[in-house]
């Protein structure tokens, strides 16, 4: 559970923040999220995936000492781990925190590292959802890189949303199009994740991520062959999201 806070209830603050900043751009929303007292203690959660460098760069310009939480599930691609180290150094991020699943829980629930083969939801809970929720406990809000164009449960994203009335999620890039992301990377000469050029436009853990063919949705390579579309770290209308939301 998060630390005690003197802030007003989350739903009311979310509504007020969306009204206050609805005409702002991504950088302004990020800047305000890190300085507005109505948001509270805030961290950036980053997968250091295909498009993560955009938000990481914005944070490095606005406030490079912002806490950056990186969940190492211990099943990530080697390229992702190397990319995380390289980008953190290149951008001068001074407060990157690598979060890993609890040793005793992995030993109890996935000692052979084969849980993903029988129950992907349980594997995500053990290696990503639970470690992230524990890491977020001291914070009132967290920043994500989700965007409307990614589809599914993300199609109606706003800049600020309630996470089960516990804390605020901030989505500075919610209204960006794919071309906006690409142009920002090019204009700022940002390094791309090495797997993108090999057909991975959305990158998660190696056992559950596959290349995407031309014409496929960019998240088609995540948990291919199942109805699972999210790892479970996000909530919509107070409910954890696994598949496509209505």
Q: Classify burial at 229, counting beta carbons within 10 Å of its beta carbon; exposed 0-12, middle 13-18, buried 19 or more.
A: buried
Neighbours of 63 (CB within 10 A): 17
User: Where are the strands (E) in the chain, listed by range?
Assistant: 42-45, 68-71, 96-99, 141-143, 160-163, 167-170, 235-236, 239-240
Pairing of strands 141-143, 167-170: parallel
Length of the chain, please?
246
List 124, 205, 208, 231, catalytic entry:
231
Q: In 99-161, where does DSSP find H-type helix?
A: 103-109, 115-118, 120-124, 130-136
- 124 is known as an active-site residue: no
Q: Which residue has the tokens 């950036």?
A: 44
Q: Which residues sit opposite 161 in a β-bridge?
A: 169
Active site residue ranges: 231
């Amino acid at each position: 559970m998060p630390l005690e806070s003197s802030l007003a209830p989350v739903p009311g603050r979310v509504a007020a923040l969306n009204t206050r900043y609805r005409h702002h751009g991504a950088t302004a929303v990020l800047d305000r999220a890190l300085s507005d007292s109505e948001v509270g203690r805030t961290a950036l959660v980053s997968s250091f995936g295909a498009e993560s460098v955009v938000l990481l760069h914005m944070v490095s310009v606005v406030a490079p000492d912002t806490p950056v939480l990186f969940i190492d599930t211990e099943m990530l691609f080697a390229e992702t781990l190397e990319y995380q180290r390289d980008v953190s150094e290149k951008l001068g991020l001074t407060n990157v925190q690598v979060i890993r699943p609890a040793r005793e829980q992995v030993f109890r629930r996935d000692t052979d590292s084969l849980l993903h083969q029988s129950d992907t939801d349980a594997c995500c809970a053990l290696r990503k959802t639970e470690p992230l929720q524990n890491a977020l406990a001291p914070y009132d809000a967290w920043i994500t890189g989700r965007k409307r164009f990614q589809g599914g449960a993300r199609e109606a994203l706003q800049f600020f949303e309630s996470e089960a009335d516990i804390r605020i999620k901030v989505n500075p890039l919610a209204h960006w199009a794919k071309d906006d992301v690409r142009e920002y990377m090019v204009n700022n000469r940002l390094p791309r994740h090495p797997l993108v050029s090999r057909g991975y436009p959305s990158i998660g853990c190696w056992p559950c991520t596959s290349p995407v063919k031309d014409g496929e949705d960019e998240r088609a390579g995540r948990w291919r062959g199942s109805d699972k579309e999210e790892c479970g770290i996000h909530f919509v209308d107070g409910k954890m999201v696994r598949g496509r939301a209505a």
